[in-house]
Every structure is written in structure tokens, then in C-alpha cells.
Amino acid sequence: MLALETKVAEGRTRMRVGTPDGEAELDLPFTEAYNVQNVLCAIAIGTAAGAQVADMADRAGDIRLSRLRGELVRLSGDVVIVNDCYNANPISMRAALDHLMTLEAPGRRIAVLGDMRELGPDSAAYHREIGAHARAIGVDAVVGVGPDARDYAPDVHVPNVDAAIEPVAEMLLSGDRLLVKGSRGVALERLTVDLAQRRGEGDG
């Protein structure tokens, strides 16, 4: 199973795949590289189960992601929020940060990272690794939300989502791209809702 050609434009991914049963063109309603990998895995499973790659390609455009998973929320002033706060673990957090860095950004790339919960005795180390990864790939600022988020070594640390609203709202400038991601119990979607109410929706 191979992605022979991949093009990302206007919030979609157009991909040509090669399988033992031939090639097909897919038009996918997302741009995240990790979701492209998920599609390739699904095609491999479907092919093994006897499905035709052409039939799977025809249905690709109807894929709909669950709410709070990589939603793009466009606000006035060309601010874009990646609302990905359904849940978080070290693998998904790293993937989301990598995706943030692929977004065209006239301004800065900022990550609001909540606690990653239920990670066991190595939790602090996992948080430190994610904070270090964010800096290594060039995220401009990290806001940590929750007690465990202190281990990200963030630029700004707050105890909960309510305390995050004002500093993040004051931080945002035109052209910024903002990742909002944390474990479900941190309820970071409330931050996205508040920012949308304050700034208003943008175009696109």
C-alpha cells in the first residue's frame, strides 16, 4: 500500500494510492498527515477484506471526523484555531504539534496544551518530552493548562481552563495559528468557544 502522490490545498488532501488491485485517486476532507496514514491503513484493511479500492476512493470524500478532533475554527483577523481537545496522549500530542507547524501562518504558531492524564508514573517525563518537542520544531509559544502541564516548561502556566481564557485572548494577534489540545477532563473546548465569541468568526 503506497501513497504515490499527495497534494494538500484548500483544506483538503488529494492522494493517489497504489494497491495490489490497482491505483485510485482520493479526495480527502482534511490535511493532517496522521489522518492520511489512517486512511492508508484503512485501505490496506479493506483490500485484505476484499473491498475494491475504487469503491473506497469514491467514499473517501464523505469522511467526517468526530467533533473536537482537529476542527479548524477560523476567527476574525485571520486567526485559526486547531480545536483538537477531545483527548491527548504523547503520540497524538506530538502529531498535533507537527500538524500545527504545517499550517501557513502569517503570524505565530502557539500551542495551548492541557494535561495528558492517566499516563502513570512516567507522566512528568512524557510532559517534558512534549514540551521539548514543541520547542524543537519551532512552536513560538506554549501555554500549559493544568497541574501536570507545568512539566511542559511552558511560557505561561495556568491551573485550569478558566484561568487560561484571559491570557490566551490577550496573546492572540492577527495571523496566529493556535493549537488547543489536552485530555478530555481539562475541557479546553471552553477556551475555543470563548475565543470565538470574543473575536467573531472569520472567512473560510
pLDDT tens-digit map of 90-128: 999 999 999 999 998 999 999 999 999 999 999 999 999
Are residues 136 and 42 part of one domain? no
In-domain check, residue 204: no
Chain segment 6-48, per-residue pLDDT in tens: 887 777 888 888 888 788 888 887 777 777 788 888 888 888 8
Decide which of 37, 60, 83 is a domain's last residue: 60
User: Which pLDDT value is given to residue 199?
Assistant: 82
pTM for the structure as a whole: 0.76
Lowest mean pLDDT among 24-38, 169-183, 184-198: 24-38
Chain segment 40-71, per-residue pLDDT in tens: 888 888 888 888 888 888 888 777 766 667 78
Domain enclosing residue 178, as ranges: 71-199
Chain segment 130-169, per-residue pLDDT in tens: 999 999 999 999 999 999 999 999 999 999 999 999 999 9
CA end-to-end span of the chain, whole Å? Answer: 33
Q: Where are the alpha helices (DSSP H) in the chain?
A: 33-48, 53-60, 90-102, 123-137, 161-171, 189-199
Decide which of 21, 36, 60 is a domain's last residue: 60
| Collapsed DSSP state (helix, strand, coil) of residue 63 | coil
What is the 8-class DSSP label of residue 153? -
In-domain check, residue 170: yes
In-domain check, residue 65: no
Whether the per-residue pLDDT at 2 is higher than 70: the answer is no
β-partners of residue 71 are 83
User: Which pLDDT value is given to residue 123?
Assistant: 97
In-domain check, residue 174: yes
Are residues 125 and 42 part of one domain? no
How many domains in the chain? Answer: 2
Are residues 125 and 171 part of one domain? yes
Angstrom CA distances, 198 to 48, 102, 112, 180, stand at: 49, 26, 17, 16
In-domain check, residue 139: yes
